Amino acid sequence: MLKTSFFKSIHVKFVLIYILLILLAMQIIGLYFSEQLEQTLRGNFEDSIVDRMEIIEFSVREEMIRNRTEEDLTIEQSLRSVLSNFNSQDINEIRVVDNRYRILGTSLGENQSLVGQRSTDDQIRRSIIGETLLEQTYLDGNLEERVWVRTLPITAVGGEMLGTLYVKAEVENVYNQMDSINSILLVGTAIALVITAVLGVLVAQTISRPIADMRRQAQAMAKGNFSRKVRVYSEDEIGQLARAFNHLTNRLQESQQSTESERRKLASVLANMTDGVLSTDRRGRIILINEPALQLLNVSRETVINRPVTTVLGLDESYTFEDLIDMRDAITLDISSQDQATLLRTTFSVIQKETGFVNGLIAVLHDNTEQEKIDMERREFVANVSHELRTPLTTMRSYLEALADGAWQDPDLAPNFLNVTQTETERMIRLVNDLLKLSKMDSSEAELSREMVEFGVFFNRIIDRFEMSKSQNVSFERNVPKSQYFVEIDTDKLTQVIDNIISNALKYSPEGGKIRFSVREKEGELLVSISDEGMGIPKENVERIFDRFYRVDRARSRAMGGTGLGLAISKEMINAHGGTIWAESQYGKGTSIYFTLPYEIDDGGEWD
């Protein structure tokens, strides 16, 4: 692994390429030099032999055409004398062969026995027969050296073929000289390669060092470290690249900081949104969901990530992902359970690239349950107000029409009709006044005129008033402590609250029944309760008795002259005093109304 990574280094690659290029250049130069040297040395050698052969050929021809006397030497003796003058280190042997293939002379002493014999050499025979110049180089088996053999035809002036001159030259010295020169060249090449390698390492460092710095910087940037900078070693292209890399680092750092800032802002927005947000990829699978969406859908993040959005939202049977992409209107998701009703208003927005390619979908979930509830209550309120006003108005119109038709002249009917009309008018006035009170409470226009009172005295005074004026056979039972509890209240409004509760208790109490009043301290507040022994309220309706116009028994309540707003007004007033109000009831056994108020214990001081 280390060896592989070593050869992957640009420094090593650069040095190797540099050395290989120098080596290739040296090889080309060496081959060319060797070839030219061989040609030059071989040419010089052959030219030298050829020049001497021409001289020898001239001398031999003169001896062969000379007229001899008895006193003269024989041609063999003459040629031996001539050939001995041309002995040299590079010529092994010179032979003269006549046109009948008989050896007339040789320069080699050990071959003198061949003189006078016929030559069997094929090259000599071909040269004589063809009267042509022949050359041949071969390896001499006896000498184990390369030799060059040249045969030169000897002709007289008239063109008569006299024979041939055979020269055997030792060409091995030429190749030995070439080997020596090549060895010198090889040593020089090796020295040049060593020097080149050293220079290549130095030159490669000037190139690879900035690149290595940029590589380390790129690795640091990949880990999120943008603080390092690449050192600029020169002003050439690599230096310009280093400067550009540093500039790129700064830009990437700024971009990364901007992206991180935007990511944090987006994460903060998503985390603090009251609406749920989820995002999908281009295949419709959820890749992002915020905490409010998880709470609204009542799911965990692990169970929804990478799941189809249609499955998570429960839209599989009604819509496909493509339908949601084309969705322009919001849809309402009903994810109600047995314990709680939940309606989510869902809007979809498509994520598109500049090319128009759909990259995903964003769904925004808004809890519309309260709004739907408010809208339903508003519709019920309008319907109830309309109904409550229509009933007395219808009654009044009927009686007024009867009076207009002549009933006013009947002394028995007219007073009764007028009494009913007056009663219904008072009922409408009470209804309108209650509506005005609620309207003021809702718009926070009702100002409380607070004063500090001792609650026991205040409560007993109200009870005494009802006990003196009650018409039913109902007894009152009080459990009001003698300890003094001071409360800061608007006495008129709180009197109205207690009046409403006691009036309801009296309305629904049976003959001979009992109404209990209790005041006690609980957890730093004053707890007041008023209980009756009436018919009670069904369990499923107890929490709704403080809703506007709500009646458990509508027919009986309307017959008793109620508007259905008394407890609703009481709840608003108790809340304005910083307390709470609620009811407990057992159907058929009675109902208890509780409310709390902040108080202060008398510490013996004086109150103004």
Q: What is the pLDDT of residue 170?
A: 81
Give me the pLDDT at residue 522, please. 85
Could you give the C-alpha distances from 128 to 157, 165, 262, in angstroms and in order?
A: 17, 10, 105
Cα separation, 608 vs 453, in Å, equals: 11
What is the reported pLDDT for 554? 47
pLDDT reported for residue 10: 66
- pLDDT band of 8, cuts 50, 70, 90: low
- 240-281 confidence digits (pLDDT tens): 887 887 888 888 888 888 888 888 887 777 777 778 888 888
pLDDT-derived band at 437, boundaries 50, 70, 90: low
CB contact at 8 A, 282 and 361? no
What does CATH list as the number for 372-442?
A: 1.10.287.130
Specify the higher pLDDT residue, 357 or 560.
357
For 330-412, where are the alpha helices, taking DSSP H only?
A: 369-404
Q: For the chain, what percent of residues have pLDDT higher than 90?
A: 2
Are 396 and 421 in contact by the 8 Å Cβ rule? The answer is: yes
Residues 64-74 have a mean pLDDT of 73
The yes-or-no verdict on residue 136 having pLDDT over 50 is yes
For CA atoms 376, 380, 386, 390, the dihedral sign is positive
Q: How far is residue 260 from each of residues 257, 268, 273, 278, measured CA to CA in Å?
A: 5, 12, 20, 20
- pLDDT average, residue stretch 18-39: 82
Residue 181: how many other CB atoms lie within 10 Å: 15
- 348 within 8 A of 322, measured Cβ to Cβ: no
Position 517 scores a pLDDT of 93
Q: What is the mean pLDDT of residues 450-454?
A: 89
3-state helix vs strand vs coil in the chain, percent to 5: 55, 20, 25
pLDDT of residue 550: 65
Residues of the chain with CATH 3.30.565.10: 451-601
> Average pLDDT over the chain, rounded to whole?
79
Yes or no: say if 137 and 147 are a contact pair by the CB < 8 Å rule.
yes
**Among 190-199, 276-285, 369-378, the least confident range:** 369-378
Q: What is the pLDDT of residues 500-556, one digit of tens each?
A: 888 888 888 888 888 899 999 888 889 999 999 888 888 777 777 877 666 655 444
pLDDT band, very low/low/confident/very high, at 185 (cuts 50, 70, 90)? confident
Q: Rounded distance, CA 562 to CA 607, Å?
A: 39
**Which residue type is seen at 447?**
E
Share of the chain above pLDDT 70, in %: 87
- Alpha helices for 443-543 (secondary structure H): 455-469, 491-508
pLDDT of 608 strictly over 50: no
Residue 419, pLDDT score? 78
Classify the C-alpha dihedral 406-412-413-416 as positive or negative.
positive
* Amino acid symbol at 426: E
List where CATH 3.30.450.20 sits in the chain. Answer: 11-178, 273-362
Query: What is the model's pLDDT at position 606?
Result: 45
Question: By the 8 A CB rule, do 124 and 97 touch?
Answer: yes
Dump pLDDT digits (tens) for 111-129: 888 888 888 888 888 888 8
Q: What average pLDDT does this structure show over 76-92?
A: 78
**273-362 belongs to which homologous superfamily?**
PAS domain (3.30.450.20)
In the CATH hierarchy, which top-level class contains the domain 11-178? alpha beta
Is the model's pLDDT at 313 over the cut of 70? yes
Query: Per residue in 387-432, pLDDT tens?
Result: 566 667 777 777 787 777 777 777 777 777 777 777 777 767 766 7
What pLDDT shows up at residue 529? 92
Confidence tier at 2 by pLDDT (50, 70, 90)? very low
State yes or no: pLDDT of 53 exceeds 80: yes
* Better-scored residue on pLDDT, 8 or 606: 8
203 or 350: whose pLDDT is higher?
A: 350
Q: How far is CA 152 from CA 51, 65, 96, 147, 172, in A?
A: 12, 17, 10, 16, 22
Distances (CA, A) of 403 to 316, 407, 418, 426: 67, 4, 9, 19
- Specify the pLDDT at position 557: 47
Could you read off the pLDDT of 192-239 as tens digits, one per residue? 888 887 887 777 777 777 777 777 777 777 777 777 777 777 777 777
Architecture of the domain delimited by 451-601: 2-Layer Sandwich (3.30)
